[in-house]
Amino acid sequence: MRTTLPRRFVSLLGLAALLLALSCALHGQDDPKDDPPLPDSASDAPAVSPAISAAPASRDVSFKLLPGNFLQDQKKMWMFPGRLAKGQHWMPTMAVAVGTLALLSNDPRVGPYFGQTRIFHGFDHVFDSKITGWETIAIPSSLYAIGLARRDSYMRKTALFAAEAVADSEVIRAVMNSATRRLRPADIPAAGNYENTFLHSRSLIGSSFPSGHTIAAVAVATVIARRYHRQRWVPIAAYGLAGVIGFSRISLRAHFPSDVFLGGVLGYAIARYDVVRE
């Protein structure tokens, strides 16, 4: 009875958290007429890279517009549960819920393995938490700096969209972390209980479910991949790096596979449907 109850509790808690997260993130499948495209400003028009001009943004962004864009994003995110209650968008929501619950049930077997193996020792040094965190910041910052130097408005706006996506994703990550307070694998002793991990973390906004590094990395990757999709190597490189960062969270015992999977889904959904809207 002591082992069965926690498993049921984890499943119910995980499903509730998934429905909350996905109902906030998958609103991008709404009717596009809710958000008509906005033209770029006249001052930025001559500075668009000809190689990627075939992938226009469906909304505008600038330092001045960022606060308003962010508030608009948050309004759409947190009002979406009403549409879910009307029976809309249940298929993608339940598909991700089932996938994450399946990983949740397997986490107790995966967690101890990465606590015992030394196979990823070198990999973990290259992709430790600080390095991957700085990478997520450095990539859009570098894009903005290069765009500024080249007078490339499209590149600068891509960097600002990436920053907007990270800000949006951080809000939902903080809410879910504080609601679930899941232990990280590294918090559990070698012979500890990997089954009952929810509501035990002492950290309110730095707990395990979902992965903050992954949600931010995938959000940035999605913005870049969508806006530069005509150059085929860009999506491969962007999602490849985000995938490596996600795996590093597991090998470093910072997160369980379910944390990383859900973080990736949320990062993609927020960036594509909430920010880029393409």
Residue-by-residue pLDDT tens, the chain, 278 positions: 444 444 445 444 544 554 455 445 444 444 344 444 444 444 444 444 444 444 444 689 999 999 999 999 998 888 777 777 888 788 888 999 999 999 999 999 998 999 888 899 889 888 888 888 898 999 999 999 999 999 999 999 999 999 999 999 999 999 999 999 999 999 998 778 898 899 999 888 889 999 999 999 999 999 999 999 999 999 999 999 999 999 999 999 999 999 999 999 999 999 998 899 86
In the prediction, which pLDDT does 82 show? 78
Name which of 51, 48, 55, 61 is nearest 274 in CA terms: 61
What tokens does 100 get?
A: 């994450």
Q: Return d(Cα 167, Cα 183) in angstroms, integer.
A: 24
In the prediction, which pLDDT does 138 show? 93
Cβ atoms within 10 Å, residue 237: 15
SS3 55: coil
SS3 234: helix
Residue 181 is given by DSSP the state: -
CA atoms within 13 A on the CB side of 226: 26
In the prediction, which pLDDT does 44 show? 46
Name which of 129, 137, 93 is nearest 246 in CA terms: 129
In the prediction, which pLDDT does 31 show? 39
In the prediction, which pLDDT does 78 show? 84
Give residue limits of the domains in the chain. 4-31+49-276
* Tally of residues, the chain: 278
CB 129 within 8 A of CB 213: yes
CA atoms within 13 A on the CB side of 175: 15
Distance, first Cα to last Cα, the chain: 49
CB 103 within 8 A of CB 256: yes
For the whole model, what pTM was predicted?
A: 0.80
In the prediction, which pLDDT does 278 show? 67
In the prediction, which pLDDT does 58 show? 61
Residue 4 is given by DSSP the state: H
In the prediction, which pLDDT does 38 show? 43
CB 25 within 8 A of CB 273: yes
**Which is it for the CA torsion 170, 171, 175, 176, positive or negative?**
negative
In the prediction, which pLDDT does 16 show? 52
Q: Return d(Cα 111, Cα 129) in angstroms, integer.
A: 18
In the prediction, which pLDDT does 28 show? 43
SS3 86: coil
In the prediction, which pLDDT does 45 show? 44
